[in-house]
């Protein structure tokens, strides 16, 4: 049996009496590509926040490769191998793309504490940053401030930042949100081309994209898991259809 | 010793009553309008001076309180409308701007009332001492100050919890969008709350000026006490302001008594503890 | 650095070096103050312009350092070689304590730093047996190392100039380092920085202590210039004026805080020569800056340059 990359145990998050996530258990084996689907308000993003440490869960536990990280702060989880993107683009608008990438690259090692040497003096960081931008097709934009590039390019940068924290498990929160069909295709291709040793957990609204990328799919509804299975099983399931398309 | 301890407790509570007047306005304006108004101390001082002049001319302490409060309510409206409004929700800009306003008001007050310690004359029936159980003599005025503070606190509490306007304000403190949804004239509501906050500050200057005296620099000293009250209680919380005022009032009284040279240092304790355990104060919310 | 800026820097340096010869002692004194308070403003701006934290307690580090030097030199005849480092150490240690305020953000941070600043002012003001109360500590000598000492304000001017040039160079390295970039990242999005693996509160704490050390250094320079220190040095107006200087000059830059210090000090000197209410004038500068020049002089210069260097629209 392969090792479990992520193990979520009976996790709940309550906001003012309302359970956004209501006892979710989830196991993702290392190397798997798991997609979370569910209608708006199903608790997908909240679940993500709790797993990656942006929010503290009300109850339940999170394990990363067998290690209990429920109480670890977010930066520690990142150091242990969790990487994530945000549904609402969360990059550094006043900094250049290169500087954005530099922050991601030195964030998981001790070089982030260096005070006596200019960033420009780290040739290897610069090379890695340019390679990272190249990988998402942004190399030509390296010197531009983020606020001057398009929304689609920011989404690509969002992905590049997460990839450069050297993640073992990557959490992608609707990487294609708000993109045009052609940009959408480009990003899903990029995701499909990621090395298979990175475990992938992804929220996706677009059923075609989701079912195309996933090894397995977890369906959330009103803060609970209502189904877990292969893309084909999910496609065939009546309950999922009901949740997504209503009766009929 | 025990008698002194009791006296200091009453001193602390009476200071708390005064601080509550000032801090409640500050915390409500932040809660509803997200405005940090550092000129609140200057409002206090100016209100006190205006009350002083009115009391000297008319001999009426009640009139002095109303005049000090009302004058500052009007002044506060103009400062709010023409200056603070233009900063949006940029707290840094608000702080710099209102510190600037406080500097200007402080200098104007200095030019008019001079640099001496002045005391607002309290009415005759509040002068002298009361004999408390255990043969303790205590100044009547400070004792009445406690009742006045409780009275204002109760009135504010009722306004806040029991009236429709209070309900809207509470909803606004939790979530500003809700106020827009109620169909109430938001601008009018903001003007009212801001006027109330300024009125309270001006009034506090008059009642405080009758036992703490008024002098240049008093505006900053009182403001810092009010800030600590708000930090301890949590920004935007009326109940927090009450408890914060008691904590600060008592700590100050005992600090002055037991460690006179380090009385300010005593204020550091609660701030430090709060920062370690509750960075948003006892009743503070996420903003 | 492009050639225009290099030329400008060299001209500024030449002017600074020539100043005591061409201008009288009044201007030399004003320039010394501008360097000292510019350094204080620069320390405030490390947090304000780079990390996005608005501290109003920096007068505390400035004053604790100044008091330490003054008390050691005057009462215990400790030489400058020990007193000056002790001053910086004392101010920095206080910053390490007050640094817990980085557990808070936004308005809370502003309010808490104001309150902390008053704690120090209160101690300076009330603990008169040690601090000298409102009179403070007087008769601080000029600094001396071994047998060699400063003997005039002109000599001291050059010492201060040398120190702030070194500081500016060090500061420049710091803000360009990975650590400095990290601060700007935190200013832009703290949540994202955490998800990239940064323990942001530790970063901010380190910045706070560094900034406190710089403010302490300014305090040492101040006390040897002023030759006395009293509670005014620790007061709230000093903290808030330091922030104002940074903003007036241009927050987030190195030259800005020094320019801002020059403007604020120059204006105050000039106004107080014919008008008593100089606090009111300072207040008006606060208001005007917030309403009309939030980016400061450097921002205005950048806007002007952008306007004039823009290529002309092609004619019809």
Test C188 with A95 for CB contact under 8 angstroms. yes
- Domain presence at residue C82: yes
Structure confidence at residue A217 (pLDDT): 92
- The answer to whether C250 and C297 are in contact (CB under 8 A) is yes
Distance (Å) of CA B157 to CA B15, B31, B164, C197, C281? 19, 15, 13, 46, 40
Domain termination residue (choose one: A166, A192, A224):
A166
Q: Note whether C188 contacts A: Cβ–Cβ < 8 A.
A: yes
Reported confidence tier of residue B287, pLDDT bands at 50, 70, 90: very low
Q: What is the CATH number of the domain that holds A174?
A: 3.40.50.300
| Residue C11: pLDDT band with limits 50, 70, 90 | very high
B286: confidence class by pLDDT, cuts 50, 70, 90: low
Q: How confident is the model at residue A31 (pLDDT cuts 50, 70, 90)?
A: very high
Instruction: List all residues of chain A from 190 to 219 with a beta carbon under 8 Å from chain C.
Output: none
Mean pLDDT of A103-126: 93
Give whole-number Cα distances, A60 to A23, A50, A71, A165, A202, in Å: 7, 10, 11, 26, 21
**What is the DSSP secondary structure assignment for residue C76, as one 8-state letter?**
H
Window 92-121 of A, Cβ < 8 Å to C: 92-95, 99, 102-104, 106-108, 111-120
Between B123 and C177, where is the model more confident? C177
Looking at the structure, tell me whether residues A157 and A179 fall in a common domain. no
Q: At C148, is the secondary structure helix, strand, or coil?
A: strand
Q: Which domains does chain B have, with CATH numbers?
A: 2-277 (1.10.3470)
Task: Give the mean model confidence (pLDDT) for residues B219-229.
Answer: 91
Residues A39 and A112 in one domain: no
Average pLDDT over residues A156-180: 91
Given an 8 Å threshold on Cβ–Cβ distance, is C196 in contact with A103?
A: yes
Shared domain for A140 and A196, answered yes or no, is: no
Nearest CA distance, B246 vs chain C (angstrom):
17
pLDDT at C177: 96
Residue (of A15, C5, C122) closest to C114 by Cα position: C122
Whether A57 and A155 share a structural domain: no
Q: State the smallest CA–CA distance between residue C186 and chain B in angstroms.
A: 17
For chain A, give the mean pLDDT.
90
Task: Considering only residues C133 and C67, tell me which one the structure prediction assigns the higher pLDDT.
Answer: C67
CB contact under 8 A, A114 and C177: yes
Beta strands at C144-145 and C148-149: parallel, antiparallel or unpaired: antiparallel
User: Using CA atoms, how far apart are residues A222 and B75, in angstroms rounded to an integer?
Assistant: 52
Nearest-neighbour CA in chain B from C272: distance (Å): 13
- The residue segments making up the domain with residue A188 are 1-81+167-248
* A171 contacts A84 by C-beta, under 8 angstroms: yes
ipTM reported for the complex, 2 dp: 0.89
Count of domains in chain A?
2
Q: Show which of A166, A182, A213 is a domain's final residue.
A: A166
Distance, in Å, from the CA atom of B56 to the CA atom of B122, rounded to the nearest integer, reads: 10
Q: What's the half-sphere exposure (Cβ side, CA atoms, 13 Å) at A132?
A: 27
> Rounded distance, CA C26 to CA C29, Å?
5
A86 contacts in C (CB within 8 Å)?
191-192, 195
> Are A129 and A240 in the same domain?
no
Percent of chain C with pLDDT over 70: 97
Give the percent of chain C with pLDDT over 90.
Answer: 70
Please check whether residues A135 and A204 belong to one and the same domain.
no
What's the confidence (pLDDT) of residue B273? 76
DSSP helix/strand/coil, A19? strand
- pLDDT band of residue A248 (cuts 50, 70, 90) is very low
pLDDT interval class at C315 (50, 70, 90): very low
* Same domain? A34 vs A140: no
Flag whether residue C80 sits within 8 Å of chain A, measured between CB atoms: no
Of A57-61, A232-236, C8-12, C221-225, the least confident: A232-236
My answer on whether A28 and A105 are in the same domain is: no
- Which residue among A122, A139, A166 closes a domain? A166
pLDDT band at B163 (very low <50, low <70, confident <90, very high): confident
Question: In this structure, are residues C241 and C33 in contact, taking their beta carbons and an 8 Å threshold?
Answer: no
pLDDT at residue B158 tops 70:
yes
pLDDT attached to residue A182: 87
CA distance A83 to A51: 11
Q: Does B58 or A208 have the greater pLDDT score?
A: B58
- For C108-135, what is each residue's pLDDT tens digit? 899 899 989 988 998 898 888 888 888 9
* Residue C314, domain member (yes or no): no
Least confident of B210-214, B266-270, C180-184: B266-270
pLDDT of res. C48 = 95
Q: What is the per-residue pLDDT across A204-222, written as a single tens digit (0 to 9) for each?
A: 887 778 888 899 999 999 8
Can you give the residue range of the structural domain that contains C90?
Answer: 25-235
Query: Does the pLDDT value for residue B175 go beyond 80?
Result: no
What would the mean pLDDT of C271-281 be, rounded to a whole number? Answer: 82
Q: What is the pLDDT of residues A58-92, one digit of tens each?
A: 999 999 999 999 999 999 999 999 999 998 889 99
Question: What total number of domains does chain C contain?
Answer: 1
Nearest chain C residue (CA) to B271: C112
């Amino acid at each position: 049996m392969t090792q479990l990359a992520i193990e979520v145990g009976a996790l709940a998050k309550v906001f003012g009496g309302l359970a956004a996530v209501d006892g979710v258990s989830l196991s993702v084996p290392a190397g798997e590509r798991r997609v979370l689907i569910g209608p708006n308000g199903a608790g997908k993003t909240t679940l993500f926040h709790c797993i990656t440490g942006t929010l503290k869960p009300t109850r339940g536990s999170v394990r990363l490769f067998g290690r209990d990280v429920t109480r670890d702060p977010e930066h520690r989880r990142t150091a242990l191998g969790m990487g994530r993107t945000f549904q609402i683009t969360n990059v550094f608008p006043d900094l250049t793309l290169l500087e954005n990438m530099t922050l991601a690259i030195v964030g998981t090692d001790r070089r982030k504490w260096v005070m006596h040497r200019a960033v420009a003096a780290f040739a290897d960081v610069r090379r890695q940053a340019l390679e990272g931008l190249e990988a998402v097709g942004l190399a030509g934009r390296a010197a531009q401030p983020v606020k001057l590039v398009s929304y689609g390019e920011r989404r690509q940068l969002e992905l590049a930042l997460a990839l450069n924290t050297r993640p073992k498990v990557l959490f992608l929160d609707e990487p294609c949100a708000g993109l045009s069909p052609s940009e959408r295709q480009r990003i899903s291709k990029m995701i499909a081309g990621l090395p298979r040793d990175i475990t992938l957990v992804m929220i996706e609204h677009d059923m075609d994209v989701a079912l195309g990328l996933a090894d397995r799919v977890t369906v959330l509804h009103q803060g609970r898991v209502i189904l877990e299975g292969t893309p084909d099983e999910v496609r065939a399931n009546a309950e999922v259809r009901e949740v997504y398309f209503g009766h009929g | 010793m025990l008698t002194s301890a009791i006296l200091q407790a009453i001193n602390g509570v009476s200071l708390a009553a005064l601080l509550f007047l000032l801090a409640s306005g500050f915390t409500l304006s932040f809660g509803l309008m997200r405005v940090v108004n550092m000129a609140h101390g200057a409002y206090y001082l100016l209100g006190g001076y205006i009350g002083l002049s009115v009391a000297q001319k008319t001999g009426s302490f009640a009139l002095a309180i109303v005049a000090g409060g009302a004058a500052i309510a009007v002044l506060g409206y103009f400062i709010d409308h023409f200056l603070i409004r233009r900063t949006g929700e940029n707290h840094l800009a608000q702080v710099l701007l209102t510190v600037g306003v406080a500097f200007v008001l402080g200098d104007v007050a200095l030019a008019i009332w001079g640099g001496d310690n002045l005391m607002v004359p309290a009415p005759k029936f509040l002068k002298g001492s009361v004999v408390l159980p255990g043969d303790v003599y205590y100044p009547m005025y400070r004792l009445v100050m406690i009742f006045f503070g409780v009275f204002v606190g109760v009135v504010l509490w009722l306004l806040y919890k029991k009236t429709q306007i209070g309900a809207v304000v509470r909803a606004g403190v939790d979530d500003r969008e809700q106020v827009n949804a109620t169909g109430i004239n938001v601008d009018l509501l903001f003007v009212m709350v801001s006027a109330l906050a300024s009125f309270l500050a001006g009034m506090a200057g008059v009642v405080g000026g009758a036992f703490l005296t008024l002098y240049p620099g008093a505006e900053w000293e009182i403001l810092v006490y009010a800030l600590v009250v708000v930090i301890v209680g949590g920004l935007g919380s009326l109940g927090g302001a009450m408890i914060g005022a008691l904590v600060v009032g008592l700590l100050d009284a005992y600090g002055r008594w037991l460690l006179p040279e380090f009385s300010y240092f005593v204020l550091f304790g609660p701030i430090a503890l709060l920062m370690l355990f509750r960075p948003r104060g006892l009743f503070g919310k996420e903003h | 650095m492009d050639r225009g800026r290099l030329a400008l820097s060299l001209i500024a340096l030449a002017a600074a070096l020539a100043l005591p010869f061409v201008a009288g002692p009044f201007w030399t004194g004003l320039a010394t103050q501008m360097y000292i308070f510019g350094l204080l403003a620069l320390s405030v701006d490390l947090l304000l312009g780079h990390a996005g934290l608005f501290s109003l307690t920096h007068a505390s580090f400035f004053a604790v350092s100044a008091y330490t030097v003054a008390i050691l030199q005057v009462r215990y005849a400790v030489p400058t070689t020990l007193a000056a480092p002790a001053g910086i150490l004392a101010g920095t240690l206080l910053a390490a304590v007050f640094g817990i305020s980085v557990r808070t953000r936004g308005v809370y941070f502003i309010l808490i730093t104001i309150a902390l600043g008053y704690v120090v002012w209160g101690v300076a003001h009330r603990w008169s047996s040690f601090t000298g109360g409102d009179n403070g500590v007087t008769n601080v000598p000029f600094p001396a190392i071994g047998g060699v000492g400063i003997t005039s304000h002109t000599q001291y001017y050059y010492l201060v100039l040398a120190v702030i040039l070194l500081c500016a160079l060090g500061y420049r390295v710091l803000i360009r380092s990975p650590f400095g970039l990290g601060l700007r990242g935190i200013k832009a999005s703290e949540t994202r920085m955490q998800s990239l693996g940064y323990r942001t509160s530790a970063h901010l704490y380190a910045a706070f202590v560094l900034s406190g050390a710089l403010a302490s250094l300014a305090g040492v320079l101040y006390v040897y210039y002023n030759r006395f220190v009293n509670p005014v040095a620790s007061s709230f107006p000093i903290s808030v004026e330091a922030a104002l200087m940074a903003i007036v000059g241009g927050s987030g830059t190195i030259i800005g805080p020094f320019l801002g210090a020059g403007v604020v000090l120059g204006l105050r000197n000039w106004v107080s020569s014919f008008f008593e209410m100089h606090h009111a004038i300072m207040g008006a500068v606060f208001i005007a800056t917030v309403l009309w020049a939030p980016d400061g002089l450097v921002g205005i210069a950048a806007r002007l340059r952008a306007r004039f260097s823009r290529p002309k629209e092609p004619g019809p």
